[in-house]
Amino acid sequence: MSTPRAKPKYYLTTPLYYTNGMPHIGHTYSTIVADVIRRYKRMRGFDVFMTTGADEHGVNVERSAKKAGKSPQEFSTEIAVQWRRLWDDLGIAGDEFIRTTDEKHHRTVQWLFKRCRENGFIEKGHYTGQYCVHDNAYVVDAGPGDACPDCGRPTETVTEENYFFKLSGFQQKLLDFYAANPDFIQPESRRNEVLSFVNGGLKNLSITRTTIRWGIPVPGEAPHVFYVWFDALIGYLSAVGGPNYDERGLWPADLHIVGKEIIRFHAVYWPAFLMAADLPLPKQIWAHGWLLFDSEKMSKSRGNVVRPRPIVSALGIEPLRYYLLREIVFGQDGSFSYDALVTRYNSDLANGLGNLASRTLTMIERYFGGEIPNPAPGRETDVSGSAEFANEALTKVMHLYDRFSFSLALEAIWEIVAMIDKYITVEKPWALAEKPEDRARLAKVLYTAAEGLRIVAALAHPVLPVATQRIWNQLGQAEPLSGVQLDLLAWGQLKPGTKTGKPEGIFPRVDKSETIARIEAMEQEQNKAPEPSAATPVSTPAGTAAAAAPAIAAPAKIGIEDFAKVEMRVGQVKSAERVAGADRLLQLQVDIGDEVRQIVAGLALAYKAEDLVGRKVVVVTNLAPRKLRGVESNGMIVAASTPDGAPVLAGFLEDVPVGAKLK
């Protein structure tokens, strides 16, 4: 049995992401949220453990690997390594990265199956149905040729001899469980959705496949492999001990964070599997909404994804964390916009928190030699007023964090920032400093500002771990903020006489259009690289979170047959115009000999649209079409990339006919 813990445990998970593609901002959002909860719960006295990981089996990965000319294992490993590295670079890696190809996971899946079988919940049968390969799910009530209701792709008819999980027997048990645990599914809208699904009756679920190879073998039942969901979900348990889960004492999970599209798997199948195996059930499933881009769910197949590395490279991870949690109401869909991201950065971080920290610390250095002043007691009422306000705010913010109302929690914290700012503006410490008789008043004003800042730093720490630690240290606080207990935080704990550190800029203001242009330029660069090797190094702008830049591997040598796969032709630009809302992008109509192609290219930083008309360019003509800022692009224009990111078009010194092939 597990050894007793000094603190209560809190085990939380992100989804285990598919390894058929690279992470985008949507996946990053889920992982950031989990990391914020992890840090918050630590500050509330929990012994926290967070699992994230990779879901590697299934037809999608198998097919992507085949396309890349690699074995599924090799292909999936390359991608899993990049996911893991990204989370490390962004400081959101959690405590365990479980891969569904891990040996310990295989053992756990096979063990869980055995338990379900021994308990009489597995039977053999035939299944013919419509299957969505993309979503790895049978589509109930669909006929041949019907589209998948979730992703819109055509379904495939499959007939297999499968093992079935007797899900139909769990309808009442699940309903009873939901009734006894009203907070199990969050938010309310998802709970209602799941309740109506379960109330509608449950069909037995086919949990093995014979049509694919790339999966965990069902012991003694070759060629059956487990269905991806009777594989991936179990990863949450494999990560914390699997069959020996009770030794570590982390299971059951306290929280599964998921996107709303996979709520059913988590809130219906998963508890049923666990009930069938006589294992404890997770405490809560929280399904958040989607990040939208151009009003659609961001996803690789729609070609409208935004990647995290370019943003982090230009602004740092902390502004991205702040923006996502502040701007998107947790549980609802929200639109992602570069404009809003940089606006939030400048207003709330540079002008808001950063400016408050720097003006407060600069004045303490200037007027009190870098020591927290002593607020003479009894003279004014402002300290007790602030104390009341701050203590109320503390309770309020913790309550909001507890409900995962991140946006409101941050709003409440920034109300304190605004209050202190206003207080400084009204009290004018710089004027008080002019008159010796106002010295006590000056001490009180600056003490109040510093103490308010200290409280703000602690409260914002889960969202801005690096910046708040720096403010904390500048206030002369030595201990790591992560070890501070929010329950013990109260107004007045800042000791007069504490030496403060050198004030330094935390969030330097940035130029909005220049920053967006840089992000878009990096995004373009990164999208040019074929997956799974897309990796823009993360650098850090002055004063933001330190994230290590991963080494960029030299490109591998390729044979002439690989080069021959790329078709390049001479094209001539017929017309060009700016893409609305994108500083770098031009939308071009390019004649490539036998047709005119629409191509979206990141040339606007270096070329005016009108100057390009008539120009001959080199076009990669056999790239799969994709959308950039919602505009379809059918090909790529070849350009050199200069160190400052400005493109220089490839061209010809002699005249060449339009449509001529390059070899």
Find the shortest distance in angstroms from Cβ 262 to ligand MSP. Answer: 5
Per CB under 6 A, 170 contacts ligand MSP: no
Q: Which is nearer to ligand MSP, 299 or 469 (CB)?
A: 299
The DSSP secondary structure of 556-588, one letter per residue, reads PP--HHHHTTS-EEEEEEEEEEEPTT-SS-EEE
Single out the residue of 634, 569, 641 nearest to residue 602, CA to CA: 641
From the CB of 108, what's the least distance to ligand MSP, in Å? Answer: 13
Distance CA 445, CA 439 (A): 10
With CB under 6 A as the contact rule, the residue among 112, 291, 516, 588 that binds ligand MSP is 291
Residue 19 vs 633, nearer CB to ligand MSP: 19
- Write the interaction track for ligand MSP spanning residues 216-255; mark x where CB under 6 A is met and - where it is not: ----------------xx-x--------------------
List beta partners, residue 371.
499
Residue 354 DSSP label: I
Residue closer to ligand MSP by CB (options 274, 618) is 274
Distance CA 203, CA 446 (A): 66
**Side-chain-facing half-sphere of 92: CA atoms under 13 Å:** 29
Q: Shortest gap between Cβ of 284 and ligand MSP (angstroms)?
A: 15
Nearest approach in angstroms of CB 104 to ligand MSP is 16
Q: Which is nearer to ligand MSP, 19 or 587 (CB)?
A: 19
* Other beta carbons less than 10 A from residue 19's beta carbon: 30
Instruction: Report, in Å, the least distance between residue 261 CB and ligand MSP.
Output: 6
- Mask: binding to ligand MSP, 248-287, rule CB under 6 A, as x and -? ----------xx-xx-------------------------
Could you give the 3-state DSSP secondary structure of residue 473? helix
Q: Count of residues for the chain?
A: 663
Of positions 27, 191, 309, 441, contacts ligand MSP by CB under 6 A: 27
Residue 129 touching ligand MSP (CB under 6 A): no
Show the binding pattern over residues 592-621: x = contacts ligand MSP (CB under 6 A), - = does not. Answer: ------------------------------
What is the CB neighbour count within 10 angstroms for residue 611?
Answer: 11
Which CB sits closer to ligand MSP, 299 or 641? Answer: 299
**Choices 163-171, 297-305, 533-541, 641-649; region in contact with ligand MSP by CB under 6 A:** 297-305
d(CA 506, CA 353): 9
Q: How far apart are CA 619 and CA 639, in angstroms?
A: 10
Angle at 256 between CA 548 and CA 102, to 5 degrees: 65
**Shortest distance in whole angstroms from residue 302 CB to ligand MSP:** 9
| 507 counts as binding ligand MSP under rule CB under 6 A | no
Q: Name the token pair of 67.
A: 């396309």
Supply the minimum distance, in Å, between the C-beta of residue 333 and ligand MSP: 8
When asked if residue 311 is in the footprint of ligand MSP (CB under 6 A), the reply is no
Residue 41 or 297: the one with the smaller Cβ distance to ligand MSP is: 297
Tell me the three state secondary structure of residue 35. helix
Q: Quick check: 16 binds ligand MSP (CB under 6 A)?
A: yes
Q: DSSP string of 163-221?
A: EEE-GGGGHHHHHHHHHH-TTSEESHHHHHHHHHHHHT----EE-EESS-SSSPBPTT-
Beta-carbon contacts of 167 under 8 Å, excluding residues fewer than 6 positions away, are 202, 203, 204, 205, 268, 269, 272
Number of residues that bind ligand MSP (CB under 6 A): 21
> What is the C-alpha to C-alpha distance for residues 468 and 369, in angstroms, rounded to an integer?
23
Rounded Cα gap, residues 80 and 99, in angstroms: 8
58 vs 64: CA distance, rounded Å:
10
In the complex, the smallest distance separating the C-beta of residue 75 from ligand MSP, rounded to whole angstroms, is 15
Among positions 34-73, residues that touch ligand MSP (CB under 6 A) are 55
Beta carbon nearer to ligand MSP, 253 or 394? 253
Q: Which of 26, 215, 354, 602 binds ligand MSP (CB under 6 A)?
A: 26
Least Å distance, CB 54 to ligand MSP, is: 8
Burial degree of 397 (CB within 10 A; 0-12, 13-18, 19+) = buried
Contact residues for 608 (Cβ-Cβ < 8 A; gap 6+): none
Q: Which of residues 350-369 bind ligand MSP (CB under 6 A)?
A: none
Q: CB-wise, 194 or 457, nearer to ligand MSP?
A: 194
Q: How far is the CB of 348 from ligand MSP (least distance, A)?
A: 22
- Of 22, 122, 212, 298, the one binding ligand MSP by CB under 6 A: 298
Q: Closest Cα to residue 31, out of 253, 306, 320? A: 320
Residue 464 touching ligand MSP (CB under 6 A): no
For ligand MSP, the closer CB: 16 or 409: 16
| Min dist. Cβ of residue 160 to ligand MSP (A) | 21
Cβ at position 315, least distance to ligand MSP in Å: 20
Binding site residues, ligand MSP, CB under 6 A: 15-18, 26-27, 29-30, 55, 232-233, 235, 258-259, 261-262, 290-291, 297-299
